[in-house]
Structure 1
Amino acid sequence: MGKWPVFVTAPRISLQALNRVLLLLLDYDLNEYHTDPLKHDWILLTSDQLPPFEIDPEMDIYDLPDSVKAKQLRVTPLPLTGPEVFTSTNNAFASWSPSRVRGFVDAPFTKERFRAHGISPRDYIVIDQHGLETSTALLCRTYQGLEFSGDFEEIPPGDDETGVRVRMPYEAMNGMMANLSIGHMAFEAWVDLDRGLQDEGSWRWQSFAPQGLDRAEYVGARNAEGTRLRREMTLKWREAGLV
Structure 2
Amino acid sequence: MTESIRVSNAKGLYLEGIRDGKMAEALEKYTGDRYTQRSTGVRDGKEGFIEFFTPFLERNPVRDIQVVRTIEDGRFVFCHVYQSLNNGEAQWVTGDIFDTDDEGRIVEHWDVIAEYKWPTVSGRTMVDGPTGIEDLDQTKANKALVQDFAEKVLIDGRTDLAPNYISAGQYDQHNPETGDGLEGLAKHLKEVMRSGQAAQYVKIHRLLGEGNFVVIYSHVKQGGDDWAFFDLFRLKGGKIVEHWDIQEKIGPKETWRNSGKF
Same fold, judged at TM 0.5 (above): no
Q: TM-score, normalised on structure 1?
A: 0.29
Greater strand share, 1 or 2? 2
